[in-house]
Amino acid sequence: MPPPGSQSRSSTAAGPSGPSNFRYNPSDPDDFFAEFMASNKTYSFDQDRTRFQQRSHWTPPRNSRSEAPSGSRKENGASTSQPEKPLPVEKTLPCTLEELYNGTKRKMKITRNVAKPDGRVEVETEVLAVEVLPSWKKGTKITFPNKGDKLHGQLAQDLTFILDLKPHDVYILDGNNLIVKKEIPLVDALAGTTINLRTLDGRNLPVRVEEVVRPGYEVVLENEGWPIRKEPGKKGNLVIKFDVAFPTRLSMSQREAIRQIMGG
């Protein structure tokens, strides 16, 4: 008998085996579960009513799989890790300014330590062809993968050649500009002169100076400097910086001649 104030609902439904009565009391959910459990033996409900589970046997699909945590792999129950790549071996490759300007090819003989499967470490010798492309500069790196030492339990090192620049007798590289420092005597500074230069690509370049040259005077020749790799056909400037060599002594006649010429 339902408690006071509650409502009971009943219904009769016809099924394949005849009419059946179903009774529902919404006022007490515990009674609902108890009645439900009594009529359905394929479910269980714990006494504390905190777990409700279906008794069933479910096999996951054959293609289902569980992912290992990010950053790790498991094979046959064991974790595997890849050895870290050691730092590269760096060697300096000195070049002349002409070699960097025009490009060059070098054959470099190297030796490296290589660990063998039987535990021995052998010294191997090899000749590498190093190509320096035109207009590369000091500090450019050329890397040969896995040509460094290969020791036990490590990956092979890379071998890196770093370009260096030998001093030049005439030119100084400043960014994409070529600098020439030229000292001329006072007479050439006053009367004019011609400077003959040999370019890095082998050309003769005469530079005529008509103006009076004073210390710090510069002549700028556009597009005669260093080739710009990102802009094919374009070069920096060639800058000639002049200094004037003054005489340390003059005779009396020379002094008089200068005064007459200069009007002093």
CATH of domain 171-245: 2.60.260.20
Nearest to 101 by CA among 170, 39, 4: 170
* Range 144-155 burial, b when 16+ CB lie within 10 A, else e: beebbbbeeeee
pTM of the model: 0.65
The CA distance from 237 to 221, in Å, is 6
* 88-121 pLDDT tens trace: 999 999 999 999 999 999 999 999 999 999 989 9
CB-based contact 216:206 (threshold 8 Å): no
CATH fold match for the domains 89-165 and 171-245: yes
Q: Please compute Rg for the chain using Cα positions.
A: 46
Query: Could you give the percent of the chain with pLDDT greater than 70?
Result: 69
Are 258 and 186 spatial neighbours (Cβ–Cβ below 8 Å)? no
Taking the C-alpha atoms of residue 99 and residue 163, their distance in angstroms, rounded to an integer, is 11
Mean pLDDT of 24-36: 50
- Structure tokens, 105: 């090819």
Q: What pLDDT does residue 80 have?
A: 62
Q: Angle at CA 239, nearest 5°, toward 94 and 98?
A: 25
Considering the domain delimited by 89-165, tell me its CATH architecture: Sandwich (2.60)
Identity at 113, one-letter amino acid code:
N
Q: Domain residues of the chain, as ranges? A: 89-165, 171-245
